[in-house]
Structures are given as C-alpha cells and as structure tokens.
C-alpha cells in the first residue's frame, strides 16, 4: 500500500505532518490506514539480523517455559492470572515467533504484537529479577517496540509523542520560547513571597544544570517554580538551559530509537555548552532512565556515563536535607499515615530505594510512614508506565492494570501517597478517579516547601 497522510511507516518530521496526525482525533483514520499496511518482511528480517544482539537471542533460546516469571508480572496478577499474561508466553508468541518465521509475518500478526507490546508489558523489568536464567522480558519488549515502530505499528499517541520530540525536541509541543517564557513568568509570579528568586537561564559554569519534563511548563508550571524555590533556599548556584531542557523521551516508549539518540544528545549538548559541575533532573522516572541510564549508550558514549554526573531529583533533595542546606520545621512534618510509590525506572533500575526513604525520615513524623507490600526494587509498576497511561486504544486494559496499585495502597490504610515520578503520579491520580478509594497524592517538592524552616533573610520583609 502507498504511504498514507499519517506517515505510518515513516517518522513524523515536520509540523505539517504532526498537525495532520493530531487532527485525527483519537487516531481513527490512523488506525484505518494501519489496517491496510503491508509488512515489509524483507526489511523486518534484515533489521532483526542486523540489530538483535546475542543476549536477546540467548534469552529466547534458553527460556525453559517454567512459568516462574508469571507471579512476578503485575499484569498477570491484575488480569486474574490469565495464561496469556505470563511474560515468557507474551514474548515468545510475539518476538519469538517473528524470529522463527524470519520476519515472514502479516498485518494481523503485527497488530497482535502491537497490542501485546504496549498493553501487556510496561517494560518495568520486574520479571527479570525472578527468572532463574535472568531473562528480562521488559528489555526484549523494548526491542520489539522498535521493530514494530519501524513497520508503522505503534499506538497513535506515541507516534505523535515521538513526532513532537522530532519537531520541537519536547513532548506536548512545548517550544524553547514557551519554556523560557514559563521560567520568566514563574520567577516573577513568586518573587513577592520569595524575594530574590530567580530562574537563571544559560548561565555558564553553574554548579547545577536543571532539566525537566515538558508537561511541567505545559500543565504544571508551579513545579518549575517549586524547583526554583528549593534551589533558592538551599543557596545553590544553578541554571536551566534554553535549549536541551527537556529530559523526557516518549520516543523511548514508542520504540523510535533514532529519535531517542537525538533527544539525549540534545540534552548532552546543553551540558557541554553550559559546562555545569553536575546536572539534576526533575521528579520523573522515565526521563532519568532515558537520560542517565540508557542515554549514554544511545549517544555512543564509551564510558556509559553522561558528560557530567547526572542526579535524579530525589538524590539532590536527600543531599540538601542531609547537609543542612534545607532544614525542616519539625512542627510541620507529616503526622498522618503516608506511603511511598517506588518508581521502577530509578528504584528497580538504578537502586535509589534508600534515597527516597532518607527524605521521608526528615519530612514524616516517626511511626507514620507505611511501606507498601511489596516495596523498593520489588514494588509493582504503578500500572501506567511504559507509555500505557497515554494510549486511548488500551485505556480499558490500563484501568484493569491499576488494580494492583490500588490494592497495595488500600492495604496500607494510608490516604496520602508520595509519588516522585510523573507516570506514577498520573497513574495514582487515575486510579483514584476509577476506583474512588479516597486518597491524595503528591510529588516531594510541594510537601518539602510547606514544611521548610526558611532563614530570616529569605523571608519577605514586612511593609
């Protein structure tokens, strides 16, 4: 079939293409075109032969089909232990079959793979912890997503999200001009309450370069202000870049690996241009994974590291509390049962489990913190990771997936959930909307600001 107006088989690279795809509300025409796509089987097999590494080949071959991965998968548990949700079955029936058939598959098979890759796996990597052979199905599904993207089989919203990164280098069509204007606006908006507050832009040689999630300037500009307030109170020498400020990667969710590389190189270019001593990213799990964990490899960095030390926001916040740069008024600490959502992307995948709990030791009155079960690196995905939150086609499946997190929260008896991750925050907001269990949820920044012991010289002077 010839290429349709929605560029199913090619990336979105222009504003015109992006606007056309956005104009297809809900992706109705996009999916109709997808139904007519021919699979380029020769290209698919050539891609597999070129890109499939020995690790993935070995994992597919050594899987013993023992089923021990089943109970590790929150989607298997949330879907009443349905056999088609066992991780080993999900990957063997998709990528495994694709390899066995040497890419000779049809449209129906590819659409089945698309549904499995984006509605039956969030790439949370929990299964890899429980497989006796160390097989990580999440890694293989990430690879499968890339193969599907290259053939035009990717959910509409993620096609758009990746396109926005290509066109604007930011999701949610936030331009660099929008970003700079938001920073200026937030500094001005809060200067009466926080005298001297600034959001320095393109300051060379600062101690910290801060990056964020584009949804913050788009929908939650107060988050940008809160980061500025905490840096201000802590006395940090910091800056934000006017270019390369967007840390997230919907292209990672989409499987658009070329765009993933471009995203992270754009951030690294800002680091090299501004020469900070270190970089700090916002309270976002996948942004950290894309920029700090996976990003160096996408960018071809031999040492596997970003250009400067790159911390997740929870690492900086714990450090600031530990060193006394930020002080908490003990009378304002949380004095109600509160629980914590562990983000897969920086807890399971980078081991920051103790950092968040160190923060809670400062802001929660002893005896009020209640752990979820399981927790830390064993915690379940929020239910909306890996792009699952944003895909309308699979919303019903996503809402079922939220059950596990809902049951975990209910079991704690807590009505307040701290969630230092955008995807987790969204999923917990949505599970409250779906299941109505009467909870509140929050990032760390507003909670900490509300209980700061602010030095006298930083307080507004009486008129």
First to last CA, the chain: 72
Which among 153, 183, 201 is the end of a domain? 153
The reply to whether omega before 340 is within 30° of 0 (cis) is no
- Mean pLDDT within 259-285: 97
Which among 122, 153, 184 is the end of a domain? 153
pLDDT of residue 26: 81
- Mean pLDDT within 180-206: 97
273 and 349 both lie in a single domain: no
Structural domain of residue 430, as residue ranges?
338-450
138 and 180 both lie in a single domain: no
In a domain, 363, yes or no: yes
What does the block give as tokens for 139? 């890694």
Q: What one-character-per-residue DSSP string does 238-268 give?
A: EEB-SSS-B---HHHHHT-HHHHHHHHHHHH
In a domain, 293, yes or no: yes
Give the count of domains, the chain: 3
In a domain, 362, yes or no: yes
289 and 426 both lie in a single domain: no
125 and 170 both lie in a single domain: no
- Residue 3 confidence (pLDDT) above 50: no
In a domain, 6, yes or no: no
- Cβ–Cβ < 8 Å for 256, 149: yes
pLDDT of residue 252: 96
Cα(346)–Cα(329) distance, integer angstroms: 28
Q: Specify the 3-state DSSP secondary structure of 377.
A: helix
- Mean pLDDT within 257-266: 96
190 and 303 both lie in a single domain: yes
52 and 76 both lie in a single domain: yes
Digit-coded pLDDT (tens) for 109-163 = 999 999 999 999 999 999 999 999 999 999 999 999 999 999 999 999 999 999 9
Digit-coded pLDDT (tens) for 47-96 = 999 999 999 999 999 999 999 999 999 999 999 999 999 999 999 999 99
> What is the model's pTM?
0.95
Question: In what order do the strands lie in the sheet containing 440-442?
Answer: 338-340, 416-418, 440-442
Cα(263)–Cα(438) distance, integer angstroms: 38
Residue 462 neighbours by CB distance under 10 Å: 4
298 and 376 both lie in a single domain: no
Domain containing residue 139: CATH number? 1.10.1060
What does the block give as tokens for 277? 């001593």
- Mean pLDDT within 236-244: 98
- Residue 24 confidence (pLDDT) above 90: no
312 and 400 both lie in a single domain: no
311 and 169 both lie in a single domain: yes
Q: What is the band of 25 on the pLDDT scale with cuts at 50, 70, 90? A: confident
In a domain, 423, yes or no: yes
In a domain, 332, yes or no: no
58 and 146 both lie in a single domain: yes
- Residue 444 confidence (pLDDT) above 60: yes
- Residue 432 confidence (pLDDT) above 70: yes
73 and 116 both lie in a single domain: yes
Q: Hey, which residues does 441 pair with through a beta bridge?
A: 417
- Mean pLDDT within 202-215: 97
Q: For strand 416-418 and strand 338-340, is the pairing parallel, antiparallel, or unpaired?
A: parallel
Residue 256, Ramachandran bin (φ over 0: left; ψ between -120 and 50: alpha; else beta): beta
Digit-coded pLDDT (tens) for 54-68 = 999 999 999 999 999
- Residue 463 confidence (pLDDT) above 70: no
In a domain, 96, yes or no: yes
- Mean pLDDT within 4-32: 84
Q: Over the chain, what is the mean pLDDT?
A: 95
Contacts of 143 (CB under 8 A, 6+ apart): 51, 52, 56, 95
Which among 125, 153, 181 is the end of a domain? 153
- Cβ–Cβ < 8 Å for 243, 270: yes
396 and 347 both lie in a single domain: yes
In a domain, 21, yes or no: no
Cα radius of gyration rounded to whole Å, the chain:
22
pLDDT of residue 1: 32
């Amino acid at each position: 079939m010839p290429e349709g107006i929605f560029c199913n088989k090619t990336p979105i690279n222009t504003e015109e293409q992006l606007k056309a795809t956005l104009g297809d509300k809900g992706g109705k025409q996009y999916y109709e075109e997808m139904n007519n796509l021919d699979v380029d089987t020769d290209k698919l097999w050539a891609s597999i032969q070129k890109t499939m590494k020995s690790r993935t080949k070995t994992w597919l071959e050594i899987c013993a089909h023992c089923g021990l991965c089943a109970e590790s998968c929150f989607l298997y548990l949330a879907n009443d232990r349905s056999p088609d949700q066992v991780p080993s079955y999900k990957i063997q029936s998709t990528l495994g079959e694709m390899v066995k058939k040497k890419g000779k598959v049809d449209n129906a098979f590819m659409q089945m793979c698309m549904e499995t890759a984006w509605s039956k796996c969030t790439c949370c990597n929990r299964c890899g912890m429980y497989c006796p052979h160390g097989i990580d199905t999440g890694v293989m599904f990430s690879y499968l997503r890339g193969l599907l993207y290259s053939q035009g089989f990717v959910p509409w919203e993620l096609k758009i999200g990746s396109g926005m990164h290509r066109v604007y280098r930011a999701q949610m069509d936030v331009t660099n001009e929008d970003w700079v204007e938001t920073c200026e606006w937030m500094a001005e908006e809060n200067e009466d309450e926080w005298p001297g507050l600034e959001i320095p832009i393109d300051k060379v040689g600062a101690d910290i370069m801060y990056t964020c999630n584009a949804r913050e300037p788009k929908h939650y500009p107060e988050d940008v202000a809160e980061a500025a307030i905490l840096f201000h109170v802590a006395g940090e020498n910091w800056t934000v870049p006017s270019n390369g400020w967007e840390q997230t990667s919907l292209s990672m969710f989409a499987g658009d690996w070329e765009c993933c590389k471009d995203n992270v190189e754009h951030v690294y270019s800002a680091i090299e241009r501004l020469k900070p001593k270190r970089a700090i990213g916002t309270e976002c799990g996948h942004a950290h994974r894309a920029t700090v964990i996976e990003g160096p490899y996408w960018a071809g960095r031999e040492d596997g590291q970003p250009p400067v030390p790159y911390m997740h926001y929870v690492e900086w916040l714990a450090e600031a509390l530990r060193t006394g740069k930020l002080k908490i008024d003990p009378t304002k600490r949380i004095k109600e049962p509160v629980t914590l959502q562990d983000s897969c992307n920086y807890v399971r995948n980078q081991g920051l489990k103790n950092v968040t709990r160190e923060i809670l030791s400062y802001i929660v009155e002893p005896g009020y913190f209640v752990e979820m079960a399981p927790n830390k690196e064993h915690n379940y995905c929020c239910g909306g990771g890996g792009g699952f939150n944003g895909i309308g086609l699979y919303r019903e499946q996503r809402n079922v997936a939220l059950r596990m997190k809902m049951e975990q929260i209910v079991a704690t008896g807590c009505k307040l959930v701290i969630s230092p991750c955008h995807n987790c925050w969204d999923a917990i907001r949505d599970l409250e909307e779906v299941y109505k269990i009467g909870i509140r949820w929050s990032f760390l920044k507003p909670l900490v600001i509300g209980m700061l012991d602010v030095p006298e010289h930083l307080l507004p002077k009486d008129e």
